[in-house]
Structure 1
Amino acid sequence: MNIPFLIHTFWLAIQAVPITLLITGSALLIGLPLGFLLAWIKIKKIKVLYPLAVIYTSLMRATPMVLLILLFYSTLPSLFNVILNDHLHLGVKIFDVNPIIYAIAVFSLIAVANLSEVFRSAILTVDSGQQEAAVMVGLSPLQTYYRIIVPQALVSAIPNIGNLTLNILKGTSLAFMMTVQEVTAVAKTAAAYTYDYTEAYIDIFIVYFILGAILQIGFKYLERYLSRRKVRGAVKQGV
């Protein structure tokens, strides 16, 4: 066991954590509003949009993450290059796009599809009678969702949102396939010079374990906080 290399590579991997968090955070920020919109389309079964939403969700959830990465980083850029430059002669530098953009796009698409199901199931747990009561007291549909449905649904959705965020965080380890210099890529690159791959994989494990533990603790506290607010809100309504 090469202890000096283990320690040195660990700090190199730590320096790549911001890239991992950037991809994870961006995917979540994009996925939350779009996922909720997709869930609303499914619940309301809006014509034309409903079947498209179902097909999109099914495709994203059924397609392996590795295949999506290969598709977005290898196939689509080549296709766009042929269309935009070879046929339309626009001179767009497709291959100069930062690979982080591709990574964020891939994980955002995955997040939107999965969050739509998380929100759909969470919204359906809210008693429909509350929505009817809100309409009777004069609240608009938007106010009903904002003040009554969303706060309650969010409490139910938090555990699943936490699990999805954790899965995306772990999935970012595949971003090295897009030449993104995240934790896995940095550690494997360092190991390529000395062939100390075992030490590099241990470093990767430790970094992701730490990040995952922090993430789980954060979502656990958020779940408890929202649950307490829900209970206080229910008490006030009872009063």
Structure 2
Amino acid sequence: MNLAFLIQTFWLAFKAIPMTLLITSISLLIGLPFGLLLAWIKIRKIRILYPLAAIYTSLMRATPMVLFILLFYSTLPSLLNVIFNQKLHLGLKIFEINPVVYAIIVFTLIAVANLSEVFRSAILTIDPGQKEAGLMVGLTVIQIYYRIIIPQALVSAIPNIGNLTLNILKGTSLAFMMTVQEVTAVAKTAASHTYNYTEAYIDIFIIYFILGALLQIIFKYLEKHLSRHKVSSTIA
């Protein structure tokens, strides 16, 4: 065990944490509204859109993350190059796009599919009588969802959103396959020069363990805080 290398590489990988958090946070922030929209489409069973939403959700949830990343990163740039440069002759530098952009797109697509199921199940737990009460006082369907149903659904969905956030965070370790310089990529690159892969993997484990533990604490606090608010609102 090369202790000096382990410590040195730990701090190198530690500096890459902002990239890991950037991919995770942006993917989830973009995915939240689209996931909610997809959930609404599936609940309302909107014609044409419903089967497309169901197929998309099933496909994304059934495909292994590593396989989706490999397929996406190996085909999308080439496809965009054919469309914009060979067909439309726009002369765009497709292959010079920062791989972080592709990583964010990949994890956003994954987040949207999973969030749609999280929101769908949370919304279905809301008492239908609240919608009827909203209609009786003159609220539109959109107002009912915006003011009554969605806020309550978000409270119910917090535990599952926390689990998804943790899964996305861990999934970003696969972004090294897209040459993104996140925690795993930095540690493995450092190990490739000295072949101290065991130490590098220990560093990766420690960093993801710390990040995962902090995320669980944050979402536990949110769940507890919002649950109190929900109870107090109900009593009032």
Among the aligned pairs, what percent are the same residue?
78
Could you say which residue in structure 1 is the equivalent of 2:212?
A: 212
Q: Hey, what's the Cα distance between the residues in 2 that align with 1:231 and 1:88?
A: 57
Give the 3-state SS of the residue equivalent to 1:92 in structure 2. coil
2:203 partner amino acid: D
Structure 2 counterparts to residues 8-47 of structure 1, below 5 A: 8-47=8-47
Q: Hey, what's the Cα distance between the residues in 2 that align with 1:139 and 1:83?
A: 46
Alpha-carbon distance, 1:49 to partner? 0.7
TM-score by length of 1: 0.96
Could you say which residue in structure 2 is the equivalent of 1:59?
A: 59
Could you say which residue in structure 2 is the equivalent of 1:100?
A: 100
Could you say which residue in structure 2 is the equivalent of 1:87?
A: 87
TM-score by length of 2: 0.98
Q: Hey, what's the Cα distance between the residues in 2 that align with 1:71 and 1:84?
A: 20
Alpha-carbon distance, 1:150 to partner? 1.4
Give the 3-state SS of the residue equivalent to 2:53 in structure 1. helix
Give the 3-state SS of the residue equivalent to 1:181 in structure 2. coil
Alpha-carbon distance, 1:13 to partner? 0.7
Could you say which residue in structure 2 is the equivalent of 1:181?
A: 181
Structure 2 counterparts to residues 136-147 of structure 1, below 5 A: 136-147=136-147
Alpha-carbon distance, 1:71 to partner? 1.9
Could you say which residue in structure 1 is the equivalent of 2:169?
A: 169
Give RMSD over aligned pairs: 0.9
Q: Hey, what's the Cα distance between the residues in 1 that align with 2:18 and 2:212?
A: 14
Structure 1's consecutive aligned runs of 4 or more residues displaced over 3 angstroms after TM superposition are: none
Q: Hey, what's the Cα distance between the residues in 1 that align with 2:88 and 2:134?
A: 54
1:136-183 per-residue CA deviation (whole Å, 9 max, x = no partner) reads: 122222221122211221121111110001000000000000000000
Equivalenced residues, count: 236
1:48-98 per-residue CA deviation (whole Å, 9 max, x = no partner) reads: 111111111111111111122112211121122123222332211110000
Gaps of 5+ in 1: none
> Which stretch shifts more, 106-115 or 63-72?
63-72
Q: Hey, what's the Cα distance between the residues in 1 that align with 2:100 and 2:20?
A: 10
1:112 partner amino acid: V
Asked whether 1:234 is paired with 2:234, we answer: yes
Structure 2 counterparts to residues 151-166 of structure 1, below 5 A: 151-166=151-166
Asked whether 1:71 is paired with 2:105, we answer: no
Q: Hey, what's the Cα distance between the residues in 2 that align with 1:151 and 1:82?
A: 44
Q: Hey, what's the Cα distance between the residues in 1 that align with 2:143 and 2:220?
A: 28
Could you say which residue in structure 1 is the equivalent of 2:203?
A: 203
Q: Hey, what's the Cα distance between the residues in 2 that align with 1:72 and 1:91?
A: 22
Alpha-carbon distance, 1:125 to partner? 0.2
Q: Hey, what's the Cα distance between the residues in 2 that align with 1:100 and 1:151?
A: 32
Give the 3-state SS of the residue equivalent to 2:92 in structure 1. coil
1:8 partner amino acid: Q
